[in-house]
Chains A and B, each alone.
Chain A
Amino acid sequence: MENSPRKGFWEAMNSLDRRIIFLILLVCVAVPLLLNVGAPIPPTPPVQLAYDAVESLEAGDVMMVSIDFDATSAPELMPMLHSALRHAFSKDVRVVMLGHIAIGLPLGHMALEEIAAEYDKEYGVDYVDLGYRPGYIAVMIAMGRDISDIFASDYQGTPLAELPVMTGVRSYNDIELLFGFEHGAVIDYWVRYTQARFGQRMTFGTTAVMAPDAYPYLQAGQIEGLVGGLKGAAEYENLIGHLGLGTRGMPAQQWAHLLVIGFIVLGNLGYFFTRRKG
């Protein structure tokens, strides 16, 4: 029995060169991406809650958008940002953008200009980009008192007093909702400082990595909604009825997931057979 071909096969599988795994994965992601098909994804409760939070805003309310990611997480967070901005602008909500990852802000700004143009919104009147100030905790705490303490001007140096969009917007008191886009620990600071100290309403779009960590905040009611990963982005796109890159990436996701599931099953079969016979 010891040298049966079946055992030999599984032993070979157990010591499979991982480069073969890499190659199969590459094919599984690249091919669906090139075929370019995607179908709407039904929403799950956390995404629905995030949507509802934005939906609860009225025309003229202020939504603060925080860009807390950089290019590395853009594939996941950009589609969400687009959807959230579309949602806000379609309801005539004022958008105030800022960010805690300096280098991500140009990305956020480009998205803001792009979506604002779709809805004929005017810079300074309907939306503004405050830009970046160093020291995220310091910035968050200062805004609880007076936004103009820390952001005397917008990203290109125009004083806030000259921007109609900032009329009556002085502190968190005047911001109906914070929508943060997070790829790291900044979300913890938003919750542990801004929410805990000022009771700010907030909802987040996060990378799929950060999402599980944000679930306790959601359950505790510290945050109102959660859009997690590319699937969350696809769900949000479905909710606002405007499909984009989130939905488009889902077929590749599907195949990659099935492949990894296959690998786990195969790995376990190999483990099972070689252990029993060995």
Chain B
Amino acid sequence: MGHRRLVATLVFLGVLALVGGSVAARPLEEGTSAPCACSVSANDVPDDGGGAISVSWDLATTDASPSVTRFEILRYATGEEPVSIGEVLSTNTDFQDVNADGGTIYQYIVRTHTRDGFIDSVPSDAALATAQWFAHGRAPSLIALILVCGSIIFFIIRAKGGAELFIRKIPGLDAVDDAVGRATEMGRPVLYVPGIETVSEVGTLAALTILGHVAKKVAQHGTPLLVPTADPIVMTTAQEIVKQAYAEVGQSDRFDPSSVFYLTYDQFGYTAGVDGIMVRERPEAVFLLGYFAAESLILAETAHEIGAIQISGTKETSQLPFFVAACDYTLIGEEIFAASSYLSHEPIMLGSLKGQDLIKIGIVYLIVTLVIAGSIGYAISPDGTSTLSRAVEAAALWLTGS
């Protein structure tokens, strides 16, 4: 280990000597017409937790700049000697000092190294690294957050107050009860696959909410239920949810803890296991809800091969095409989140759904208004210089804080 480091150090020094000539570097004579860094400015990095100052500079003569080999950045606090804190390539004209002490006022010197030697810039103005209490670049996100959360909370409160809220039919969900019913008639199990992610993925939580509903139906009818999981926390949570569901319909004694079990965290190991369960246990209804990746089609096709009804749903747009093609019913994207509201018909859930809808329609209006306004602007002056076009452009850019 030791000699490897030694070699690396030697290589490093060698390269430095070759590239920068730093070993033999000496100051250039006054009046030498080498290009150098000038107008060095040092500023606190905005919107950060402190401790960082950004240093930037210009090149005095650009036509001769290729002879610059690198820039070295030196820093000093008032009354102290300048120390080198880093260097950048000749193509860069800025540097971020991320080790600034919050209470110290610094000045920076940029040392321009050329093949012949080096030349120091005039020191920058004094700079102090400060921490901010608000990341200004994220103001649009904050406004969006307030609007979205405000709208959702507003409608939740209204719903709690007894306002009547409508929810449209979601075809896949109506099929849930039918599927459980058919499995009961045939005396075959229901297989519930809650995806391959853990509970910090909201799609998984949506799947677990729907599992609660399915488990209740299953408990009422005495249909066997199988829930293979790929994540131990999902397993733990699913066990509790299913147990609770059996208890709620007064069938606690029929709950079999081993019906919710762990296979493996490995994506395709899990898939191989679930496929095996499908061909051997022959479930009549297969639920594929939650987060899915490539295994979606393997599971859906195997479920089809054994003749089961398949109800699928995910917010992963890359997998939705396969579910839509291969399954009987598919919950598309947001529908899986709407599912918990739909199944429970709880006012709180319906209220939050209404809140989301308001934001969606807001986005639609925003897009349409700005597009129309911008287009009118272009109609006024086709080169896009009209105040209207510019305002629309500025508004659009503002959204991402740029």
Contacts and interface: CB of A to CB of B under 8 A. Distances in A.
A interacts with B = yes
A257 B198 CA distance: 36
Interface in A145-179: 145-146, 157-159, 162-164, 167-168, 170-171, 173-174
Interface stretch (B5-13, B217-225, B342-350): B5-13
A159 B9 CA distance: 10
Contacts of A196: 400
Interface string B85-111: 011110110101010000000000000
Given A162-B9, A171-B96, A173-B96, A209 B89 contact: no
B318 interface: yes
Contacts of B5: 158-159, 162
B193 to A, nearest CB: 19
Nearest to B54: A173
A212 B88 contact: no
A157 B268 CA distance: 33
B295 to A, nearest CB: 11
Interface in A199-223: 199, 209-210, 212-213
Nearest to A171: B96
B89 A164 contact: no
Contacts of B318: 209-210, 212-213
Contact of A164 (B4, B16, B268, B294): B16
Contacts of B293: 184
Kindly name the residue among A158, A168, A184, A213 whose own CB sees the greatest number of chain B CB atoms within 10 A.
A168
A124 interface: yes
A145 B87 contact: no
A213 B317 contact: yes
Contacts of B305: 18
A125 interface: yes
A196 B400 CA distance: 8
A60 interface: yes
A52 interface: no
B74 to A, nearest CB: 15
Interface string A5-27: 00000000000001000000000
Given A72-B268, A168-B87, A213-B318, A174 B92 contact: yes
Nearest to A214: B318
B23 interface: no
* Interface magnitude class on chain B: 20 to 34
Given A157-B1, A171-B98, A173-B96, A124 B8 contact: yes
B15 interface: yes
B322 to A, nearest CB: 10
Contacts of A157: 1
A170 B12 contact: no
A146 B305 CA distance: 53
B15 A125 contact: yes
Contacts of B89: 60, 167-168
A168 to B, nearest CB: 4
Nearest to A211: B318
A163 B12 contact: yes
Contacts of B88: 168, 174
Interface string A54-91: 00001011000000000010000000000000000000
A196 B294 CA distance: 27
Contact of B8 (A72, A162, A173): A162
Contacts of B87: 167-168
Nearest to B52: A145
B92 A209 contact: no
Given A124-B8, A173-B96, A164 B15 contact: yes
Contacts of A58: 91
Contacts of A158: 4-5, 8
Contacts of A18: 305
A212 B319 CA distance: 11
A168 B98 contact: no
Contacts of B402: 199
A56 B87 CA distance: 23
B317 A170 contact: no
B11 A125 contact: yes
A58 B94 CA distance: 17
A168 B92 contact: yes
Nearest to A222: B400
Nearest to B49: A145
A210 B16 CA distance: 43
Q: In the complex, which of the residues A72, A167, A173 has the most CB atoms of chain B within 10 Å of its own CB atom?
A: A167
A163 B8 contact: yes
30 contacts: A58-B91, A60-B89, A60-B91, A72-B268, A124-B8, A124-B11, A125-B15, A145-B52, A145-B98, A146-B98, A158-B4, A158-B5, A158-B8, A162-B9, A164-B11, A164-B12, A167-B89, A168-B70, A168-B87, A168-B88, A168-B89, A170-B96, A170-B98, A173-B94, A173-B96, A184-B293, A196-B400, A199-B402, A209-B318, A210-B318
Given A125-B15, A164-B15, A164-B16, 4 more contacts: A163-B8, A163-B12, A170-B96, A212-B318
Interface pairs A-B: 8 shortest CB-CB: A168-B88, A162-B8, A164-B15, A164-B12, A146-B98, A213-B318, A60-B89, A209-B318
